[in-house]
């Protein structure tokens, strides 16, 4: 998925399994403006009475101008057309972070928003995945005897880290940073962001969208907040859809209220974003700070359809 902003809005969508791409050019202004489009192997020019915008694609992407098909105009939407592409982009998933701590590894937990250390130099002896949600209800369906796990919640020990779908369970009792009490929020001292909650005096749940886990020998990675959150959510959607064979999800608040419905459409698109409001667009700044040492200018992305469940995001 390639998204560019200039005087005209340009949207290009490509799936890795398909050599075709779909190009969409929106109207610069309501009512329509004469537009002259020139397609070259490495660039795209859009000429209007107000000027010319030239968009340069990464060196790995080559268009086939003669393959232009399906050109049509949609009122209020813009021009639609299909093109063949020759792309040699790396298809590996480029992750903005590493949130999979390894056993026998000394790790430091940071607040992703400000870099405050939450847990310093914790050697993790066990890193274990938690059972899926509502696993306890399934035990009764399979056991002919009383549930042996009843009233036995999973509590991590000091050197454990249990991973859920969207959170980590850790033991903060030995850390002077926090003296946990049951059913309380865990707040970052520096930026006051809610990092998680304590489920008991021994167990703390830290949200994956708020925490970065790094080996202690590494420095805190500076990652734009929006990119980090998008990556966490995208990875969760892909893993959950694969494990549970579902493509429908609900985004809920801490109170259990549903705020958004999500449908996962595909997970094999490529994303590039170029400079905004530029007459000659050659750089792709969304990736400049993240992929300085990487030769590729694209990464894997998921495509979702969403429906808000509330009219006002501040509605209580």
CB 135 within 8 A of CB 243: no
Query: In the chain, pLDDT over 70 holds for what percent of residues?
Result: 66
Q: Tokens for 87, please give them.
A: 């792309």
The conformation of residue 219, written as its DSSP 8-state character, comes to P
Question: Model confidence over 130-140: pLDDT tens digits?
Answer: 887 666 666 66
Could you tell me the pLDDT band of residue 195, with boundaries at 50, 70 and 90?
very high
What domains can you pick out in the chain, each with its CATH number?
A: 105-143+152-215 (2.170.150)
CB 188 within 8 A of CB 177: no
Residue 312 to residue 316: CA distance in whole angstroms: 9
Query: In the chain, pLDDT over 90 holds for what percent of residues?
Result: 18
Residue 156: phi, psi to the nearest 5? -75, 145
CB 56 within 8 A of CB 282: yes
Could you tell me the pLDDT band of residue 277, with boundaries at 50, 70 and 90?
very low
Contacts of 230 (CB under 8 A, 6+ apart): none
Task: Identify the residue with better confidence: 113 or 176.
Answer: 113
DSSP alpha helix (H) spans, 119-178: 135-142
DSSP alpha helix (H) spans, the chain: 135-142, 225-244
Q: Which residues of 108-122 are buried (b: 16+ CB within 10 A; e: fewer)?
A: bbbbbbeebebbeeb
């Amino acid at each position: 998925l390639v998204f560019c902003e200039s005087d005209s809005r340009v949207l290009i969508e490509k799936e890795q399994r398909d050599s075709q791409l779909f190009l969409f050019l929106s109207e610069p202004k309501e009512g329509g403006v004469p537009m002259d489009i020139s397609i070259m192997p490495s660039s795209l020019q859009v000429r209007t009475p107000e000027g010319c915008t030239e968009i340069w694609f990464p060196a790995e992407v080559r268009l086939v101008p003669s393959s232009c098909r399906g050109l049509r105009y949609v009122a209020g939407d813009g021009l639609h057309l299909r093109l063949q592409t020759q792309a040699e982009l790396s298809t590996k998933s480029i992750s903005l972070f590493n949130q999979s701590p390894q056993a026998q590894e000394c790790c430091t937990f940071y607040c992703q928003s400000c870099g405050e250390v939450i847990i310093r130099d914790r050697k993790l002896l066990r890193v274990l995945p938690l059972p899926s949600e509502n696993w306890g209800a399934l035990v009764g369906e399979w056991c002919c005897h009383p549930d042996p796990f009843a009233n036995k919640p999973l509590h991590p020990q000091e050197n454990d880290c249990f991973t859920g779908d969207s959170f980590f369970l850790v033991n903060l009792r030995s850390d002077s940073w926090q003296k946990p009490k049951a059913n309380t929020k865990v707040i970052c001292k520096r930026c006051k962001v809610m990092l998680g909650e304590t489920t008991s005096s021994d167990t703390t749940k830290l949200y994956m969208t708020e925490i970065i886990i790094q080996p202690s020998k590494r420095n805190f990675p500076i990652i734009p907040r929006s990119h980090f959150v998008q990556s966490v959510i995208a990875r969760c959607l892909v893993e959950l859809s694969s494990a549970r064979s579902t493509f429908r999800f609900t985004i809920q608040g801490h109170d259990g209220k549903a705020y958004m419905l999500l449908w996962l459409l595909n997970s094999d698109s490529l994303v590039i974003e170029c400079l905004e409001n530029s007459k000659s667009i050659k750089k792709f700044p969304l990736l400049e700070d993240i992929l300085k040492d990487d030769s590729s200018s694209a990464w894997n992305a998921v495509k979702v359809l969403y429906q808000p469940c509330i009219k006002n995001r501040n509605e209580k």
